[in-house]
Each structure stands twice: as C-alpha cells, then as structure tokens.
A and B are shown apart, each in its own frame.
Chain A
C-alpha cells in the first residue's frame, strides 16, 4: 500500500512573501477588546472582583471561519506572528512544543520543525526533519532531542510509506533520540521501542543525577503483538506478570552514551488502587436532591451518594414493611419506621458493601496506563494523568516512582495532563473528554466536562477545589476541550496559559483555586464553516517572555501579554526576567525571580490590588524605589536598605504580611 500520495501543486511563494502576508494579518486591529495599559497601571483591581469585566458579548462567539483567514478575537494579548507550516508539514497535524535557547521545536505527525524565535514577529524555520509518526511529542535535554512515536505507520527509517503489515520489523513505536548539537542538522542516533508505543513522554532531570536523564513513557494505544516486539503481552497481569498493561515505562538515557538508552523499569504505579472518594455532586443534582427532600421523598445513600428513591420503587417496599408490622395499609408510624430502616433495607437488598469492606475485595480494575505525566523534580513530585485517575507521585527515586495519592472525579472522562503551581501546593488536571477530536465546548456541553479540575495539595493529599473551562461557547465545527498549557511566571500568583484546540488559548488566574478567572484570550473561527476539520492550539506555553502556540493546521502563533486590569506592566516585566535555557513543559521547571526593580514594583502592584498595604505607603515605596533606581553606589544601597527596613516594619500591620516581607527582601537584595 502506498503511503503519502501528496498532490503536488506548483508553489511559487517564498517565506518572505508569507511573512509579509502574516505581518499584514497581525497588524490589523482585531475585534473589540481590552482596557488601556495606563488605566490598569493607576488602579490595579483585585483579581477576584475586577471592575473591568471580560468583554461582553464575548467576541469569540460567531467568528468567521477560514484556514489562514479566519476571523480572530483577542483580549489582553498581542499577536506577534502567525507562521504557516512549511510545505512538507502542511495539512499534517502539528503537535507539542519544546524549547531550547532561542528555538522552538515543534512536533508534527510528519516529523519535527525547528523555529528560530530571535525575532518573534517573524520566526524563521531553520530545520525541517521529515520522520513520520504520531504524535511526535518532543522534549529536549542539552544536545538530545526525544520524539514520541505511537501511530501504526511510524518507520524506523523515517520513511513516509507507512507500515501496512500488522506485524513488521520496520515499525517504530516508542522513543526516537536525536543528537541536536547542530540543531540545523539533527542526527538520528537511537530508538527505544516500547510495547504500547509512546503517546507522550516526559523527561526527568533528577537533581541528584548528572549522568543520566530518565524518560517516562506513556502509551495509550493497544499493545503490539509479541511477534513484533518480543516480551510484549496484553494479557492481564494476574495471567502474565510481564503484562504491558497497568504500568508505565521508564527509559534511562546515559548522557555520555545516549545510544545505550533502554527501558530500565516498568513501575506498576496503579497497584492496589481503590476507588478514591468522589468530590461531590453537580449543582443541578444537589438542587434536585434538596427539592425531593423538601417534598418528603425517601432518600438513601448508595455508594457514597445520596439519591432519591422513586415512588414506584418505594411503594411496594413500604407496603411489605407495613404488612410485616401487621397493617394492611401503611400507617404514618409505619412510614416513619420505614424511613429509619430504609438504609439497612437497601444495603441488604442490593448487597452494598461499606467502603472499607469494598477495599478488601481484591484488586480493582484500575488504569492500564497514563496519558501524560508532569514531572516536577525540584519538589520531587509528579502529577500523573492516568485514564480515570489523577495521581500524585513521589519521584525522588527516578526509577521507582511511588504513588502518594489518587483522585477520581465523576465529571472527568479522561485524565489528560497535570500542571503544578510554582510552589507545588496546587495541581491542575485537564480532562481531554472526547480525545481532542470532538467539539466539547458547545453551549450545551456541561461546564464540568472536558474542563480542568484544580486541587490543593495538603500533606501529600489532593483536595478538589473547582473546575475551570473555557468560558466562550464554540461551534460544532470546532474540536475543543482542555489541553496543554504552562504556568506564566507572574510572581506571587498562579497564572497559566492553556490550549483549547479550536477553542483558542485562554490565560487564567488560579491563585484562588476555588475561583479561577480568565484574564486573556485569543481565538479564531473554525477552519471550516460546514464540517469539523481537526485544528486549533495543541499546546501553548510561556517561554522567556513569549507565549508560543502550536496550531494543528495553521502553524506557529506567537503572542505576548498586554497589561490589563488583571495584570500590570510591572508583573509582566517581572515575568520576563525569568529566563530558561530550555523548556519541556512536562518536566516542569521551578521559576525563580531574580531581584529586580520590576519584581519589587510587581509586588507593590499586587499589594495595591489586594489592599495589603495602605495607599500612601505604596505611593511612598514607589517613590523611594524610583529615587533609588536613579541613584548609584552607596547612596543607592542606603536608600534601598532604608526602604527594606521601612517595609519590614510595616509588614506586621499589613493584611498581607508575607508579601510585604517578600517585597522587603527583594528590595534588600537590590541594594
């Protein structure tokens, strides 16, 4: 069978022409939008109760369709560029992103593309490496590039002809390793084949190990036949202890000899997993329950949730109960006694076990794999998004991760990915309900489905706080669900940018985990007005001041934040001071802010917003900062020390003492 039969058409365009076209696109003023920066600077409001609400009506509703000419809506972001894919990758799915130096590495089902972001208004393509395999999830570490292969058509030789045989020695499903010492000329140096292929992977740089990196492999496709890769078994673990199900794979990559990379362990992190507590009922369920309670309906708890027993179900039971008590028809006393006896009757009738007893009943069907794992080595934790569960893992021993906690959620369909906040006290999981190829953001789709769930982490246990879902309804022609995103290093706040496929990108603040608030967005109309064409933002990540989005069909979008009522210029400037040498979002880095005047001013803006410090004290501190910045040498040091002393003295009486002390410490470090 012949593979890629592309219809070749004459192409006369050049990149510069395209750049001109795209600059034309980005230069125009999009639909309504935003506050002015100056207004935001003078009166930054509290995030939880902003006086300047999101644009209403939402400009994302009703955008005109188009591939490269769709109508766009943007709020509190500026689009710097949109660059279509090169010819070899056009019409083929763009996937995840990794970053190294000033390069963005963009996966595509046809291979990898490397963009030079030195001029973000016009990214230039420096590498096109055709090597087909879905999903081409990418990660970097120093001179190494790792690429996931899962689809059945991936070939060891990078050929585009696919692999038609169900069993073939030519097939690659697993991890490809490239040497990118010369990023313009990647060298394909090794493969590690795995039983389920690699849907995604995460690279772990253990702080205590400088000689190896570890690649956690998540594969969600069916297990390959043993004839293709010896040792692969799809039998349940109780039949075959070597089953490729119910485990993840960890590859050890010796940095000095990456060609020796091999699977070093297959931890069964799901073992003994029992049904974790549900976090509760949806609001409409609760309302219904309360209404039933009010009208005196019989309510009983069945597997941890109260439910209303239908009258037709209760009536014969009540009649039988009354007969046993010697009454032909139930009396009021029968009814009251029945109400009391009901839980026991129900348990007996349906053989319902108590939770504790249930846990002794042997191994439960758990997840057979993870979809994605976010490793956060600085705190020794990982968030595993594993089928019906969100897991918190201890990864201090890289090849023996241990499960610390697990959550499930009756509103979550398929746990997709995790993002920690910077200090590791919260974790956000996304639910890729429908797999990303379905339109799950229609007005009729519940807000709790295909959303993010936010948890706080207390003593190693996760506690549910709330959901966040893209607030703008999308059309049935737009595949849309929660997808990949990253933290934006706004100091002192938890702010994240997230991709929602054709729902666009959404920036939101989840500092208050129970009340996440959207603070910026970008969206396009659907690719096609009459059917759903796979597209939209696969991943969007913050990297060194830029917000970079991998658009499945349209290429690479680059944005920057614009000051608004929700985010001051100083906060954005402070975020820009966090510089990374590389970024794999699934190997989450800890953001550290150098002591800068921008950081001090960002904290002052936040104290003004939260009213954590009196207005006159904030004004005085701003003035003192400016004066110190204008001074030099000893005078400057003295001024800053004096300001730090003053702030420390003010901290005690402040409504936000911790932040004032942080501010004082930054000011002292500046001196």
Chain B
C-alpha cells in the first residue's frame, strides 16, 4: 500500500486562501455581511480601521473559513493508489456508457430505453466530472475523454485501463450499433446490464483492497455508484424480462 502525496496541486480558490492569508481576510471583510448585497460595504484592507467588535467577529469567521479550507485540503491526502486506479478506470468505464447511451435517439430506441439512456448520460457525465475533479485536486493525471460515434478516445490512461470489467468489446459495440428499434432496446439492456455489473465488480474490488475507500469522497462516490448501478441493473432486468420472455439470455 502506498499513500500518494498530492503533487502539482491545481491553483484554485482554496489554495489561494490557504497560502495568502491576508488576501483572504480582505476578501472576507468585503463580503462579511452575507445576504445584504445592497448594504455591502466597500472592501478594505485588514488594517484599514481600528479593531472593533465587528472586525473581531470578521476575523473569527475568516479564521474559521481558512481552517475549513485547510481541512478540506488535508482531507485530500488520505487516498491510495487503489483509489486513483478506481477513479481512472471508472472514468473510462463511464465513458463507454456514454457511447452506448448516445446511440438511443438515432437507433429508434423506445421511450423507456430513451428515458433510461437520458438518465445514464446525465448521471455518468456528472460523475465523470466529479472523478476528474477528484484526481485533479489530488495532483493525479486526469483522463480526458473524447467521443465520436463509437470511437472513444481517452488521453492520460494506459492501455490496461481501457479494458475494465464489463466493458463491451468492439464487436459487441458494432453489434449494438447495427440494431434498431426493439432489437436495439433488447441488446442495449443486455449489454448495459453487463456493463453495470462490471462497475459493481470494480467497487467490490476497491473495498476489498487494504487502505482503499478511506477518502470520504472516494467512499461516497464508490458507494453511490454501487447502489445506483445495482438499482439500475434491477430495473433493466425487469425491462429486459418483459421484452425478451423466456428466451432471455442470462
């Protein structure tokens, strides 16, 4: 097990506040009055007026805020290479779900599958963004994805990551691409169940790894993916059941 230290931290607001205390105080002074947009006083430097009770309160809140961001920063140091591999692999995995789901409108999918794919596109795009942010905030290589039809291009990952559990082979993708209407629905459900099961396997593997999932966000994200995809598998199995009858291929 290894603990990867954040290197190459991105420059975001949290960092500025941590590393430039006086600037943070100035910003906070400027916006201390919360909701009162109209009564907001002009920003002043920290030493512009003699200390008063209000200034002391402002200072206390500023201290609290800088402590908050420091905590958030330090919370980002509790991750392992297993967490990083999970996030990286899951980005690729999710990206293929986007490829598959994006086919629905042009492949005459039915309303139930169209709704399902719209939700998968929405949910997994957001989760990809979350995972990219997670990696970026920890100074890790961030996979960027580019989708053109069936072609999925991912930069920043090695070849092994392109074959996570449950991912469709090129042949399976082409088969899906060739189907239309109810045939597409049936094949989509079959392959997306396979795909989701792979994601659940990835979560199971993560949680079986020493040191993994101690990072709060990593645990939450992996748990959310686990329950969401299990729930969706059950839903898709019901849909497939209705569609395929006894000949269902399980």
Q: Contact: B37 with A25, CB < 8 Å?
A: no
Nearest-neighbour CB distance to chain A for B142, whole angstroms, equals 13
Q: Note all chain B residues with C-beta closer than 8 A to A30.
A: 35-36
A285-B111, A439-B126 known; A18 and B35 CB under 8 Å? Answer: no
Q: Contact: A64 with B37, CB < 8 Å?
A: yes
Question: CB-defined interface of A230-272 with B at 8 Å, one 1/0 digit per residue?
Answer: 0000100000000000000000000000000000000000000
Q: Contact: B63 with A361, CB < 8 Å?
A: no
Is the C-beta of A87 less than 8 angstroms from some C-beta in chain B? yes
Return the chain B residue nearest A553 by Cβ.
B68
Is the C-beta of B210 less than 8 angstroms from some C-beta in chain A? yes
Chain B interface residue bracket vs A: 35 or more
Is the C-beta of B43 less than 8 angstroms from some C-beta in chain A? no
Contact residue among B3, B227, B234 (Cβ-Cβ distance under 8 Å from A371) = B227
Question: CB-defined interface of B51-89 with A at 8 Å, one 1/0 digit per residue?
Answer: 001101111110111111111111101101000000000
Kindly list the 10 A-B residue pairs having the minimum CB-CB distance in the complex, ordered from nearest: A91-B71, A435-B224, A13-B60, A351-B245, A21-B57, A303-B242, A72-B35, A28-B36, A310-B108, A313-B181
Question: Within B194-219, which residues are at the interface with A (CB < 8 Å)?
Answer: 203-204, 207-214, 216-217, 219
A408-416, A487-495, A610-618 - the one binding chain B:
A408-416
Q: Note all chain B residues with C-beta closer than 8 A to A294.
A: none
Is the C-beta of B13 less than 8 angstroms from some C-beta in chain A? yes
Contact residue among B34, B68, B209 (Cβ-Cβ distance under 8 Å from A72) = B34
Nearest-neighbour CB distance to chain A for B231, whole angstroms, equals 4
A3→B72 CA distance, assembly (Å)? 13
A388→B230 CA distance, assembly (Å)? 9
Q: Note all chain A residues with C-beta closer than 8 A to B68.
A: 67, 90-91, 553
A71-B37, A361-B246 known; A312 and B71 CB under 8 Å? Answer: no
A288→B230 CA distance, assembly (Å)? 31
A287→B38 CA distance, assembly (Å)? 45
Q: Note all chain A residues with C-beta closer than 8 A to B75.
A: 91-92
Q: Contact: B243 with A18, CB < 8 Å?
A: no
Nearest-neighbour CB distance to chain B for A562, whole angstroms, equals 15
A225-B208, A445-B122, A532-B130 known; A70 and B34 CB under 8 Å? Answer: yes
Q: Note all chain B residues with C-beta closer than 8 A to A7.
A: 70-71, 73-74
Is the C-beta of B233 less than 8 angstroms from some C-beta in chain A? yes
A18-B64, A91-B75, A166-B210 known; A368 and B230 CB under 8 Å? Answer: yes
Nearest-neighbour CB distance to chain B for A451, whole angstroms, equals 13
Which residues of B pack against A, CB within 8 Å? 1, 3, 12-14, 28, 31-37, 39, 53-54, 56-61, 63-75, 77-78, 80, 108, 110-112, 115, 119, 122-123, 126-127, 130, 133, 180-182, 186, 203-204, 207-214, 216-217, 219-221, 223-224, 226-228, 230-235, 237-239, 241-247
Q: Contact: B31 with A358, CB < 8 Å?
A: no
Chain A interface residue bracket vs B: 35 or more
Return the chain A residue nearest B239 by Cβ.
A303
Q: Contact: A350 with B244, CB < 8 Å?
A: yes
Is the C-beta of A460 less than 8 angstroms from some C-beta in chain B? no
Return the chain A residue nearest B33 by Cβ.
A28
Q: Contact: A109 with B230, CB < 8 Å?
A: no
A7-B71, A71-B34, A414-B228 known; A18 and B60 CB under 8 Å? Answer: yes
Q: Contact: B209 with A166, CB < 8 Å?
A: yes
Nearest-neighbour CB distance to chain B for A156, whole angstroms, equals 16
Q: Note all chain B residues with C-beta closer than 8 A to A210.
A: none
Which residues of A pack against B, CB within 8 Å? 1-7, 9-14, 17-18, 20-21, 24-25, 28-31, 64, 66-74, 84, 87, 90-93, 109, 134, 150-153, 162-166, 220-222, 225, 234, 275, 281-282, 285, 288-289, 302-305, 307, 309-310, 312-313, 346, 349-353, 358, 361, 364-368, 371, 387-388, 408, 410-411, 413-414, 433-440, 445, 449, 528-534, 553
Q: Contact: B64 with A9, CB < 8 Å?
A: no
Nearest-neighbour CB distance to chain B for A221, whole angstroms, equals 5
Q: Note all chain A residues with C-beta closer than 8 A to B73.
A: 7
A264→B154 CA distance, assembly (Å)? 50
Contact residue among B69, B108, B208, B230 (Cβ-Cβ distance under 8 Å from A312) = B108
Return the chain A residue nearest B218 by Cβ.
A152
Known interface pairs A164-B1, A222-B204, A530-B12; 9 further A-B residue pairs with C-beta atoms within 8 A, sorted by A's residue number:
A1-B1, A6-B71, A13-B59, A21-B57, A69-B33, A312-B180, A351-B246, A352-B245, A413-B123
